[in-house]
Amino acid sequence: MYAVKAMPRPRSLTPAQLADAALAVLDRDGLTGLTMRAVGAQLGTSTMALYRYVADRDELESLVVERVLDGVDMRPPADGPWPDGIRELVDRVRAAVGAHPAVVPLLPAHRHRSPGILRWGEAALAVLTRGGFAGTRRVVAFRALLAYVVGAIQMEHLGALAGPGTAVIAALPRAEFPLLAETARAAGAVGPDDEFGGGLDLLLDGLARQLDG
């Protein structure tokens, strides 16, 4: 292996450039616009050149997810009450994802393989552990937190009740969905941050109560 006869042409792209280009396409044209051809055009290369960097479209999506999560500070906040630490961690991913809403549909599918999401999980577990959670309780707490965050972020970017989506529901047949219509109207006074944070607080309160009891 040490006596290599010749070295090939060096790569003209970095994975980071590829990820940036794909993210740019995603931000501009949405998830349906994220095609191999579009990313190739964005980079000024052929479509097939991308396959020297990723095995398939799925891997390209992974690259995008990772790129969005790259800017997130994944260090667990070390001081302060543990619920504040969780809130901080949650807010960081929420902000990062909010800057690129089109990645939202990709998150559930890439949840297992994404190093970024795994690092976030590790940080969240560190905070929970510091708060006193261990064993089965920690498993359930962690999963509940993840479920809420995943669900709430999706709700937020697929038409929140507080937001443009409200109008749709407010126009529902009153007779059939009286409570939904009423709730949709009341939701106008609740901002996305209050909605997201309020739900998280409910979960954190439940966790705190479990620690006490």
The verdict on 60 binding a second copy (CB under 8 A) reads no
The size of the chain, in residues, is 213
Contact in structure between 85 and 130 (CB atoms under 8 Å):
yes
Handedness of CA 96, 101, 107, 110 (dihedral sign): negative
- Residue closer to DNA by CB (options 43, 184) is 43
Helix (H, G, I), strand (E, B) or coil at 32: helix
Under rule CB under 7 A, residue 49 binds DNA: yes
Smallest distance, Å, CB 36 to a second copy? 17
* CA-CA-CA-CA dihedral for 145, 147, 148, 149, to nearest 10: 80
Cβ 32 to a second copy, closest distance in Å?
Answer: 12
Q: Is 188 in contact with 166 (CB distance < 8 Å)? A: yes
- Residue 35 binding result from DNA, a second copy, none, given CB thresholds of 5 to 8 Å by partner type: DNA
The CA distance from 121 to 146, in Å, is 8
The single-letter DSSP state of residue 164 is: T
**CB of 3 vs a second copy, minimal distance in Å:** 34
Rounded least distance, CB 125 to a second copy, Å: 4
Smaller CB separation from DNA, 3 or 78: 3
Question: Residue numbers of the site for a second copy (CB under 8 A)?
Answer: 105, 108-109, 111-112, 118-119, 121-122, 125-126, 129, 135-136, 138-144, 146-152, 154-155, 158-162, 165, 168-169, 172, 176-180, 183, 186-187, 189-190, 194-195, 198-207, 209-210
